Amino acid sequence: MITANLGFPRIGSHRELKFAVERFWQGRWGDESLQALGAKLRRRHWRLQAKTGIQQIPSNDFSFYDHLLDTAVMVGAVPARFRKTANSELAAYFSMARGTQSAHAMEMTKWFDTNYHYIVPEFEPDMDFCPNSQKPVQEFLEAQALGVSTRPVLLGPVSFALLGKCRSRSMQLQDVVKGLVPVYEEVLGDLYDAGAEWVQIDEPFLGLDINRFEQQLFSHAYDRLAAIERSPKILLATYFSGLGSNLQLAVDLSVSALHLDLVRDPGQLQPALQHIAD
């Protein structure tokens, strides 16, 4: 048996991250101080998980604000009103979440059936999706330097697209996914080159009722990702519910491993094993 963790709380045992971010917003801390605090928390959390015997430890599960906002930055999905609005990367990042005098903040809404609120991605016709952040690789290498081998975590391209909003009627959801997949291909290649053996890709939307068109988006995206030569093995993670009618789809996706939420739906294990056996 292999012990694994899907993600680790980022706030700190004494809510250090919350207080540090507030100091940054108040102008009492600069970028370097906030980045140093983030690195300190990541080191503490990786070492704690390693000490307790967890064998597959996540990285890139840390965020200064929200993991969907991190993903938006990673793929270049930055709305036009936030481009060139701040004098540092962190200031620009937080401006998307909180807004500025000249640009209203991005929308927030509940993350599935939790009270956590995420930043809703916005897709605009002029967006040129491209790798815009090395955060997944940097945090993998950061842990590696401590002697901790991690499994980087990414929010999947299809759930990211489905959780967002197209800001123009001329945009189609399939065009968004089509534009995102090459970015994920590059990110996976960079993680492979950095030495990552596994990557966890979260697709929680598979736990919802989705139509045939949305099912085809999943199949298309993962057929593309499976075809690249330089890639870690993919663990597809689902949670918040059982897969229901999407179970066959999830089992058939071109990935190396599948995570099922057996807390919410323990009864899906046997059907899943039967699908695999067939």
Along the 278 residues of the chain, how does pLDDT read in single tens digits?
Answer: 899 999 999 999 999 999 999 999 999 999 999 999 999 999 999 999 999 999 999 999 999 999 999 999 999 999 999 987 666 889 999 999 999 998 999 999 999 999 999 999 999 998 989 999 999 999 999 999 999 999 999 999 999 999 999 988 888 899 999 999 999 999 999 999 999 999 999 999 999 999 999 999 999 999 999 999 999 999 999 999 999 999 999 999 999 999 999 999 999 999 999 988 77
CATH number assigned to the domain comprising residue 198: 3.20.20.210
Residue 9 domain-assigned? no
176, part of any domain: yes
The distance from CA 131 to its chain's CA centroid, rounded to whole angstroms, is: 14
Instruction: Decide: 195 and 156 in contact? Cβ < 8 Å.
Output: no
Name the amino acid, one letter, at 56. Answer: Q
Residue 56 falls within a domain, yes or no?
A: yes
- Structural contact between residues 242 and 261, judged by C-beta atoms closer than 8 angstroms: yes
Residues 6+ apart with CB under 8 A from 117: 108, 109, 110, 111
1 occurs within a structural domain: no
For the chain, the distance separating the N- and C-terminal CA atoms, rounded to the nearest angstrom, is: 24
Contact 99, 108 (CB under 8 A): no
User: Looking at the domain assignment, is residue 6 inside a domain?
Assistant: no
**Strand partners of residue 237:** 202, 259
Question: Does residue 58 form part of some domain?
Answer: yes
Stated as kind and residue range, the H or E segment containing 225 is helix 212-226
Domain with 101 in it: 16-277
Query: Are residues 122 and 99 in contact, defined by beta-carbon separation less than 8 angstroms?
Result: no
- The structural domain count of the chain equals 1
* Any domain includes 7: no
The pTM is what?
0.95
